[in-house]
Amino acid sequence: MRIGLEIISLGLVFWLEGVFPLFQGRKERFRHARRNLGMGILNGLVISLGFAALTLKSIQIAENNSWGLLHQIHWIPFAEGVAAFILFDLWMYVWHRANHEIPFLWRFHRMHHSDLELDSTSALRFHMGEIIFSSLLRLVIIPLIGMQFIHLLIYEICLQPVIIFHHSNVALPEKLDRIFRAVIVTPNMHRVHHSQIRDETDSNYSSIFSFWDRMIRSFRKRKDAQTIVYGLPYLQEKEWQSLLGMLRTPFANVQKKV
């Protein structure tokens, strides 16, 4: 179900980018998409083969032993589901911010930021190492929260369309973008996060709910999203845009974050 929804969301948004693009004239749009999709497939295999069973096991162990916050408070199921969703989204904010502030994690996360033409497929462009670290930590965070499988499934079902949407190259009118970003992360908000300017790169960390950045004072905005230059100044060459180059990025001896 989750994978099917992700494919449908990606296909729809990718089509909308072709009809209503913010940045126009991208001649290698499909080649760019193939590279990012290739990385997404590799990461999907890592998760499904390496961590799906472990995640289910960690949830089961926590339930059997009544571990985790939500197993202690005994709210009605709906309230527990809402709490699990919010708490896990807060964790996603913390994890994303850690990937920017901890140099070792940044070496892997910078591959995501090396994309020079942000679009819906950029939502799949994460280094395998980052996916492994994230999945390992989830084995601890999920039991600490006391999440049930249904809680995690609902979160993932909501997360994928939102991150595909806010990475997109769709020219969403600013008035509409502003309405949406009162609650969720939107394209104009997340585009700032992919700017080459470090103060902008180190902002707007939220995944689904946009209010974390406002609450923690990491929110930044641009009046004209079309003036944003994507990517990292030291990963501009074509070699870093290939599938092999993306995999090599964390281990490359390139300039540090500036």
Q: Is residue 256 part of a domain?
A: no
- Surface-to-core class of residue 98, CB atoms within 10 Å of its CB (0-12 exposed, 13-18 middle, 19+ buried): middle
Q: Residue 257: inside a domain, yes or no?
A: no
pLDDT of residue 1: 67
pLDDT, mean of residues 26-55:
94
The average confidence (pLDDT) of the chain is 94
What is the structure's pLDDT at 92? 98
Q: CB–CB of 168/19 below 8 Å?
A: no
Is residue 46 a part of any domain in this protein? yes
Query: Does residue 253 have a pLDDT over 60?
Result: yes
Domain that holds residue 68: 2-251
Contact 33, 121 (CB under 8 A): yes
pLDDT at 155 over 90: yes
Q: Tokens 């992919």 label which residue?
A: 194
- Looking at the DSSP bridge assignments, the partners of residue 170 are 21
pLDDT at 257: 47
Q: How many CA atoms lie within 13 A of 228 on its CB side?
A: 29
Pinpoint the alpha helices (H) of the chain: 2-19, 29-50, 52-64, 70-73, 77-101, 103-113, 128-145, 149-166, 174-180, 187-193, 198-201, 211-215, 243-248
Tell me, yes or no, whether 85 lies in a domain. Answer: yes
Number of domains in the chain: 1
The overall pTM is greater than 0.85? yes
Q: Are 184 and 218 in contact (CB under 8 A)?
A: no
Q: Which 3 state secondary structure label does DSSP give 231?
A: coil
Answer yes or no: is 258 within a domain: no
Q: How far is CA 185 from CA 82, 97, 214, in A?
A: 18, 15, 11
Residue 126 has pLDDT above 60, yes or no: yes
Tokens 């092999």, residue located: 244
Tokens 């998409």 locate to 33
